[in-house]
Amino acid sequence: MAAGAVARIAVRTTRRTELIQISEQVQELVEQSGVESGVCYVYVPHTTAGVIINEGYDPDVAGDMEIAFDKLVPHRGDYRHAEGNSDSHIKVALTSSSQSIFIEGGKLALGRWQQISFLSLTGLGGARCR
C-alpha cells in the first residue's frame, strides 16, 4: 500500500452496541504504507457507528462503556425518526466518526493504555473503517 492511500478494515459486529478494538489492524496498515512520521486518519463512513480512542487492555472498560451508552441514550425512547435508530445517531454525536493518530517511527503514537475501537451502535453485522 502506498503512503497516502486509503485502506479499509472490515469489522464484524455481534451486538447492537459494541466496541471492537481495531488498533492492530490500523497498525498493520501503517506498516504496509511505509510511513515513518505523519498522521493516520481513521474515519467511519456511517451515521450510526463511530471510532474512539480509550483504555483498551481491560475488556471491562469496553463493557462498562457499552452499558453506559445504552443507559445515557436508551434504544427505546420518545424519538420521531421512523427507522428506529435515533439512539444510535445521538450516541455517535456524543463520540466521533473519526480520529487522528500521530505516527512516530512507523508506529501509532498511542498512550500506554490507549487502543482504537470501532463503535457499533446498531449491530450493523459488518462495517468498514477507512
Query: What are the residues facing 19 on neighbouring strands?
Result: 119
Q: Are 111 and 55 in contact (CB under 8 A)?
A: no
Kindly indicate the confidence band of residue 90, based on its pLDDT and cuts at 50, 70 and 90.
Answer: very high
Is the pLDDT reported for residue 83 higher than 70?
A: yes
Number of residues assigned to the chain: 130
pTM: 0.87
* Closest alpha carbon to 124 in 16, 47, 52: 16
pLDDT for 15-41, tens place per residue?
889 999 999 999 999 999 999 999 999
Topology given in CATH for the domain delimited by 9-129: Jelly Rolls (2.60.120)
Hey, where are the domains in the chain? 9-129
Quick one: pLDDT at residue 130? Answer: 47
SS3 128: strand
Q: How far apart are CA 24 and CA 116, in angstroms?
A: 9
Q: How far apart are CA 111 and CA 122, in angstroms?
A: 29
